[in-house]
Chains A and B, each alone.
Chain A
Amino acid sequence: MTPNSILLRIARQEVRQSLRNRSLLIACAGVAALLLLATIVARQNQARLNAQRETWQQRVRSNWLEQPDRHPHRASHYGYLAFRPKSPLGFFDFGVDSFAGTSVFLEAHRQNTANFSEARHSGGMLRFGELSPALVLQLFVPLAIFFLGFGAIAGEREGGTLSMLLAQGVRWREILLGKTLGVAAMTGLMIAPGTLLLLLWHLGAGGAASGDALWRGVGLFAGYALYLLLCAAVAVLVSARQQTSRGALTSLLLFWIVFCVAVPRAAQTLGAIAAPAPAKAEFDAALERDLTQEGDSHDPNDPHFASLRAETLAKYNVREIRELPFNYGALVMLEAEKISSGIFRRHYGELLDTFRRQNRFSEWGALLDPYLAIRNLSMALAGSDLAHYAEFQWQAEAFRFEMVQKLNQLHLTEVRFENDRAQRVSRDRWQAFPAFAFRPPSVADALKQQWASIAALLVWGLGLAVAVGRVRPRLVT
């Protein structure tokens, strides 16, 4: 026999044995059904939320367009509401989505928080976990794999068949690899219906139409395939090293509890301790302090704006601002908005850096805990991680800044300084403002921040491959 055919025979034998075990079949069917159910429910949930946000986004847009003649600065206080759509693959992995704000009010002078996260409406049940395909694949399928694999070697040993195999000249690594393949094949069968449905929906939603969506799909598929293969290898290796199948099962379950339940929370809370983020009040106070220092247009004695005034008067060679050929009040607002937006960007950037430092514990923890690796990679590819949320905040701020400055520009040129407040510009002007539309970051940008997760999965893969080649299982119980 060629080595390959031995491998395949062992794998096939493993599958056949699993298929004969009734409680195994029930468990696998349960997980398969769960994956299907999670996929369907999550997608419905996503469709509902997106429809809701879309409706309100359109309402906000048409309200904007229907504004009567108004003073431009009125319009910039009337402002705009930006809603954060869930990403197309957001239903696959909810990531941080439900804990991030969904709408932000955009107005002149200030940056508001993103409000109304799903978690704030849930009364606490959300904290137990959210039913998504990712949850099933990350937590439940590995458990089923451990169930499938705990007896792979230990069972043969207890049945006395292991030494028979070896006596026939089959090599250790062939047994281990064959068993791993067998468990992996069973896993494939188990997740096939759900995967197929996910694939169809992804393709139906244009998953192959754009390179970006295609690569996200491919990346998720590859990532999970590797993760689940790792789980299969771990199960077989533990089964090989432990004395009894009972010991193997206990160890595997312990692995699962530590890696999938305890370590993730512990890592993140450690991160939050290591890089403490400021409270909202502190953050605001720091913003205000910088604003006072760099130029507060609401302070009549502010040096920055005093010199702006002097320079402008000198430049146009006039003595009073009302002699200027444009509306000086608007010039002040243009300048003030530039300053305050710059300060906000700096502070918000620092805050995001703090968040990233907090998350670093989970990112590097992935080298120890492959669950964290797939978790991070999965939500990045699904477009539901912190980076995607931050991108929404940046785009909302950029949209706000452009909207307000465009209105200030109108104010500058089309509203006279005299009797400023009583004037209005025509409502036709509102048409020239674009609607807010979130452009998600590209898959390349998403992956750029995930090299730790990818490296962790590869290191684990390599380590386990070496182990499968090297490990000498116990022969006797």
Chain B
Amino acid sequence: MNPTRLLQLEIKNFLAGRAVVAGLVVIFLAGLYAVEHGRRTIAAQRQALAAMPQLQREHLDKTLALHAAPDPANAIYYLNFFTAHEPSRYAPLSIGLRDVNPFNLKIRLLTLEGQLYDGDISNPATLSLGNFDLAFLLVFLYPLLLIAFTHNALSTEQELGTWNLICSQPVSPRAVLARKAAIRFGAVAGVWLLTLAAAALRLGLAPDRRLGFLTFVSLAYLFFWFAVSWFVISFRRSSNFNALTLLGVWLALAILVPAALNVALATWLPVPEAMAVTVDQREGYHRQWDRPKAETMTRFFQRYPEYASFQAPPDKFSWGWYYAAQHLGDEEAASASAEFRAKLEQRQQWMRRFSWLTPTINAQAAFNQIAQTDLPNHLAYLDSVRSFHERLRRVFYPFLMRNDAPPPFPWDRLPAHRFQDESLPATFPLSALSLLALSAALLLLARRRTV
């Protein structure tokens, strides 16, 4: 028989398996659901963000109407400034931490460290179960499908006694195996690519670099699971043994190892600094009320010498003094805040290291990185809020820190916050290469066994 005919027969044989077509259809439908879930979740966030300019205008108008006269500084006290963490176009594919971390923060000219970590009002039960997005489908469910399809590729033939028949034929058993392997991986990878294509269509994604990276990472990840399956079945044990062993590997990689690493990180790198920041900024600011105003101003002028000519009345409230005091809250919390930040980055770094050897973490982290929904991205957003707050200070301080009457406030020229994920470069997730390396190693080991 010619090779094409053999391939056709093998495909027919594979698809004749009772659950095979059903499995492929179900996972494709699950993929459509995942895309839709991601789209809705991110669309809801976009909608909330889109409403913000309007909310900001209304808030500004109302606050100015109530408080801008007689002392416009009163209005500054009540003013909230809206900041937005716009999702990338790829966020629906991998919602990542966008539901755990707030995607918009309202800030005032007060101590920033007391405002930067405000939570969102989300349902913790929903957060704890996690999102049914494409990343989840790929990382958790696709490997199970691959396992289901490959675990008995060889053992069924053995159990039915057909393997000896094949070996007695004038075709090389290795070619037969390779065909079986290619068909199984091809079917799963094909459905996945179809799902990705559907996602790209539904979300209006152009075939650009990011989509290329996503495709590469996901195929490498699927290939890893294929290699694991092939490695296990190369021991030529029973179908039951293969199924259980592979499920054991899946459990270890998908749940156990990440959970254990997470606990280990939480233990080695605890973050009491989070609480220290909160307490320090509060003490640092409120303490100023109980000390001579000149002391507060001296410390403030060390940071902002350009306003040193401002003389705060020693026994009377002044807005200039008030914001200086608020600022000292940030100064007080600065070291804890920096440590907190460093700890988070360390945790992130460790996760990256783990990902080289843990394919599940690898794929999830790469997806979150490409979709710009990971921790570094959130930290970058917080940085943008930080520099926006600094801009606000530079806008308002000259009006507040002066001895004469200030000129009219430029209410119509207030700065607006901007931060967009895709302003960050899309870098190739290098650690995805480890998926290929691990796969190659497993396949080599398997090859030595099956020959």
Contacts and interface: CB of A to CB of B under 8 A. Distances in A.
A268 B259 contact: no
A246 B152 CA distance: 10
Contact of B123 (A83, A95, A386): A386
A108 B83 CA distance: 24
B144 A48 contact: no
Contacts of B274: 115-116, 121
Given A48-B270, A112-B118, A268-B129, A100 B124 contact: yes
Identify the interface centre among A56, A121, A135: most chain B CB within 10 Å of its CB.
A121
B144 A113 contact: no
Nearest to B45: A279
Q: How would you classify the secondary structure of chain B's contact residues: helix, strand, loop or mixed?
A: helix
A281 B82 contact: yes
Interface string A256-288: 010001101110110111001111111111001
Interface stretch (A122-130, A218-226, A401-409): A122-130
Secondary structure at the A interface, as helix, strand, loop or mixed, is helix
Interface stretch (A167-175, A329-337, A354-362, A459-467): A354-362
Contacts of B282: 78-79, 81, 105
A63 interface: yes
Contacts of A362: 125, 129
Contacts of A285: 55
Given A123-B375, A261-B141, A280-B104, A70 B290 contact: yes
Interface stretch (A139-147, A318-326, A443-451): A139-147
Contact of A113 (B121, B276, B348, B364): B121
Interface residues of A, number: 98
A161 to B, nearest CB: 18
Contact of B44 (A78, A279, A280): A279
Nearest to B117: A115
Contact of B51 (A63, A118, A281): A281
Interface residues of B, number: 96
A52 B266 CA distance: 13
Contacts of B248: 27
Contacts of B48: 279, 281-282
Interface in A200-259: 245-246, 249-250, 253-254, 257
Considering residues A45, A100, A125, A285, which has the most beta carbons from chain B within 10 angstroms of its beta carbon? A125
Contacts of A346: none
Contacts of B114: 105
A268 B99 CA distance: 14
A277 B127 contact: no
Interface in A46-64: 48, 52-53, 55-56, 59-60, 63
B284 to A, nearest CB: 12
Most chain B C-beta atoms within 10 Å of own C-beta, residue among A127, A254, A421: A127
Given A122-B262, A124-B351, A279 B104 contact: yes
B255 A115 contact: no
B100 A120 contact: yes
B216 interface: no
20 contacts: A56-B276, A74-B286, A96-B125, A96-B128, A101-B119, A120-B117, A121-B266, A121-B343, A124-B97, A124-B351, A128-B258, A246-B152, A253-B247, A257-B141, A272-B41, A277-B121, A277-B123, A282-B51, A298-B78, A362-B125
Among all A-B residue pairs, the 9 with the closest Cβ atoms: A128-B258, A279-B48, A96-B124, A99-B127, A131-B259, A100-B124, A113-B119, A125-B262, A268-B129
Interface of A: 23, 27, 34, 41, 44-45, 48, 52-53, 55-56, 59-60, 63, 68, 70, 74, 77-79, 81, 83, 95-96, 98-101, 103, 105, 112-131, 135, 139-140, 143, 147, 150, 245-246, 249-250, 253-254, 257, 261-262, 264-266, 268-269, 271-273, 276-285, 288, 292, 298-300, 351, 354-355, 358-359, 362, 385-386, 389, 421
Given A119-B97, A129-B255, A386-B123, 20 more contacts: A23-B244, A45-B267, A52-B270, A56-B276, A70-B290, A81-B278, A96-B125, A116-B119, A123-B347, A125-B259, A128-B254, A257-B141, A262-B30, A266-B132, A271-B126, A272-B126, A280-B102, A281-B55, A362-B125, A385-B125
